[in-house]
């Protein structure tokens, strides 16, 4: 049963002392040229509300931090376990309102606490927090209470953000169905008969339904990008090592990364600012060099030099960001054109035409075009995920990272598997991961099967990164051969484009068709951003709700600024996102 706060909504209209900025540009209703008409104060709507809009309302004195947090709590109360019953939220932070009141008191004297001042954030429930349990969705971990916040969560709080609570997920981040033994099946915010994708399913549905301003997800093989696609969100899978993995329940440390999930590109840019940074702790997974041309990171200076993190990613929010951009659309990744995939392809072709009209060059590369660059996309994605090789050891390492006498939590993969606190559908998954993990660790096991697992894992660590990275770089650099001295076929590309998911949202309880598209980013370490291409009406049912279609952009390692620039240009040109209809604005409580 959820721990929910049930305080009624109090929208406070009194101005905060010292915080009314009468000269602010963040007002609405200004009648240019008519100085006799006073400007309306900025107002805030919870549905689709942005960070900038909330901050403008606070400056105008029409919104307090407490009212903002309470408003989202009220929306969760109204729509998560009742009404549409999205089951997107596992737990709320009992200290969220206290932090909001503290921020209000400080705001009256000192102004905003940071770029994320009073931004309510829902964390996927595999991000550690000291104030709320971290279950990874499994009842086996229901007592997990870590002594501190994950490194990236601490960054969000330091920037002024408020941990509103924890979002549901596909338990242990295993897949794309989006259900857990803790909270059950998450429903799609646009159509409750449809699935939300996974594994960051709760974050996807919650942010789409405006249960919080922003959220976090983790991505091993698509777990940020798939639910972002099906819920009409912007989701960023950062370059490996950009975001510390400290305090995020692992699935495969060599592929995992945390990332933001938001309704707008600008909100994700602000979230990414807060989440990045060098972590010298033992669980950061930032320092080791990969098996391709990437140097080890040992110090903060090396982190800054290698990752080239800007002062703020918001510097790349250019409404004309598509002007002059060069994008390669990878036609073999668009699907077979049958069934729902036809809708996805049609929407992406419309998106491509809109990009071209806004000044971008978008070349559609066929299999023959890629062969000319000596690239086979099948060869780049024909590897297994490292989750099967690493989960057993990585989960044990995570569970051993704090003393059990603090909370009585289980301390190993074997203990979790034996406990059985997970959905029945995952019994086989635990057995599979356990068997492979033991074979990897036990060098004395000379069976053909064990040797095969060890060889496959070694190939993934030593060969896969270079093969995938070099293939993608030949496309991005627009070269016709295997090496950097090969002749160019044209100007280089800034990003690659393909569908995030090949189908529309699937039936509830099912996984969407992702193909192999989601593998390119984790297998290379390059960053990827999923964003709405637009909405489509499912075929044969004019009364069914329209559903989002997502498109994924992939850029060179640590070139998140390019992804943000292109995505923001498309967002401002097309305005592709539409709010779900089942979670409308709540009526204000005037009591």
Task: Write out the catalytic residue numbers.
Answer: 124, 199, 223
Angstrom distance (rounded) from CA 566 to CA 564: 6
Contact call for residues 57 and 63 (beta carbons, < 8 A): yes
How many CB atoms neighbour CB 372 within 10 A?
A: 15
Angstrom distance (rounded) from CA 258 to CA 151: 11
Task: Give one DSSP letter per residue of 121-161, joined into a string.
Answer: EEEETTB--SSS---TT-GGGTT---SS--HHHHHHHHTT-
Q: Is 360 left (phi over 0), alpha (psi -120 to 50) or beta?
A: beta
Smallest CA-to-CA distance from 226 within 545, 527, 548, 578 is with 548
The 3-state DSSP class for residue 59 equals: helix
- 3-state SS, one letter per residue, for 453-508: HHHHHHHHHHCHHHHHHHHHHHHHCCECCCCCCCCECCCCCCEEEEECCCCCCCEC
What token pair was written down for 335?
């699907």
Contact call for residues 53 and 44 (beta carbons, < 8 A): yes
Q: Please name every residue paired with 549 in a beta bridge, in sequence order, or none if there are none.
A: 534
Angstrom distance (rounded) from CA 89 to CA 121: 12
Q: Please name every residue paired with 588 in a beta bridge, in sequence order, or none if there are none.
A: none
Angstrom distance (rounded) from CA 325 to CA 308: 20
Distance of CA 314 to the CA centre of its chain: 17
Smallest CA-to-CA distance from 361 within 334, 335, 326, 392 is with 326
Angstrom distance (rounded) from CA 367 to CA 91: 47
What token pair was written down for 465?
């990164």
Angstrom distance (rounded) from CA 466 to CA 289: 12
What is the pairing mode between strands 234-237 and 179-180? unpaired
| CA-angle at 275, arms to 45 and 278, nearest 5° | 165
Q: Which residues contact 4 (CB under 8 A, 6 or more apart)?
A: 73, 76, 77, 92
The 3-state DSSP class for residue 163 equals: strand
How many CB atoms neighbour CB 328 within 10 A?
A: 25
Angstrom distance (rounded) from CA 386 to CA 523: 9
Which strand (E) or helix (H) includes residue 89? strand 89-92
φ, ψ at 534 (rounded to 5°): 160, -175
Whether a cis peptide bond, with omega within 30° of 0, leads into 530 is: no
> How far apart, in Å, do the first and last CA atoms of the chain sit?
28
Distance of CA 250 to the CA centre of its chain: 15
């Amino acid at each position: 049963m959820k721990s929910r706060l049930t305080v009624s909504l109090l929208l406070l209209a009194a101005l905060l002392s010292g915080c009314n900025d009468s000269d602010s540009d963040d007002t609405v209703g200004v009648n240019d040229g008519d100085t006799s008409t006073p400007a309306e104060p900025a107002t805030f709507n919870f549905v689709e509300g942005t960070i900038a809009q909330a901050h403008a309302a606070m400056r105008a004195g029409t919104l307090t931090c407490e009212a903002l947090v309470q408003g989202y709590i009220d929306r969760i109360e109204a729509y998560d376990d009742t009404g549409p019953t999205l089951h997107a939220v596992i737990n709320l932070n009992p200290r969220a309102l206290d932090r909001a009141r503290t921020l209000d008191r400080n705001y009256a004297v000192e102004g905003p606490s940071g770029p994320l001042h009073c931004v309510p954030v829902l964390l996927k429930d595999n991000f550690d927090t000291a104030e709320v349990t971290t279950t990874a969705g499994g009842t086996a971990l229901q007592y997990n209470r870590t002594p501190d916040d994950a490194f990236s969560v601490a960054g969000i709080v330091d920037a002024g953000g408020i941990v509103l609570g924890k979002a549901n997920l596909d338990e242990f981040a295993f897949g794309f169905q989006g259900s857990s033994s803790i909270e059950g099946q998450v429903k799609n915010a646009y159509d409750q008969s449809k699935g939300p994708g996974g594994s960051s399913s709760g974050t996807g549905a919650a942010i789409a339904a405006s249960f919080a301003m922003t959220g976090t997800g983790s991505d091993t093989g698509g777990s940020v990008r798939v639910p972002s696609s099906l819920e009409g969100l912007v989701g960023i899978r950062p370059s490996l090592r950009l975001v510390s993995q400290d305090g995020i329940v692992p699935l495969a440390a060599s592929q995992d990364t945390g990332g933001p999930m938001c309704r707008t590109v600008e909100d994700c840019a602000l979230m990414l600012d807060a989440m990045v940074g060098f972590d010298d702790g033992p669980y950061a997974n930032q320092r080791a060099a990969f098996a391709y041309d990437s140097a080890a990171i040992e110090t903060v200076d090396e982190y800054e030099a290698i990752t080239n993190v800007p002062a703020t990613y918001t510097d790349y929010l250019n409404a004309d960001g598509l002007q002059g951009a060069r994008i390669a659309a990878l036609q073999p990744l668009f699907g077979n054109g049958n069934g729902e995939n036809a809708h996805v392809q049609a929407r992406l072709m419309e998106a491509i035409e809109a990009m071209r009209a806004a000044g971008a060059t978008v070349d559609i590369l066929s299999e023959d075009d890629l062969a000319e660059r000596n690239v086979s996309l099948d060869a780049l994605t024909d590897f297994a995920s490292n989750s099967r090789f690493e989960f057993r050891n990585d989960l044990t390492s995570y569970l051993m990272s704090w003393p059990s006498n603090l909370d009585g939590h289980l301390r190993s993969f074997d203990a979790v598997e034996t406990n059985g606190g997970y959905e029945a559908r995952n019994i086989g998954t635990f057995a599979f991961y356990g068997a492979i993990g033991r074979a990897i660790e036990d060098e004395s096991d000379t069976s053909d099967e064990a040797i095969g697992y060890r060889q496959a894992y070694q190939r993934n660590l030593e060969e896969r990164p270079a093969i995938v990275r070099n293939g993608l770089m030949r496309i991005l650099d627009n070269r016709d051969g295997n090496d950097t001295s090969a002749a160019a076929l044209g100007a280089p590309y800034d990003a690659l484009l393909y569908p995030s998911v090949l189908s529309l949202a699937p039936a509830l309880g099912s996984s969407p068709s992702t193909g192999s598209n989601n593998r390119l980013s984790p297998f290379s370490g390059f960053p990827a951003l999923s964003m709405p291409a637009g909405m489509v009406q499912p075929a044969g049912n004019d009364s069914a709700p329209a559903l989002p279609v997502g498109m994924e952009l992939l850029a060179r390692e640590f070139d998140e600024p390019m992804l943000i620039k292109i995505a923001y240009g498309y967002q401002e040109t097309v305005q592709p996102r539409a709010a779900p209809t089942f979670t409308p604005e709540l009526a204000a409580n005037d009591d």
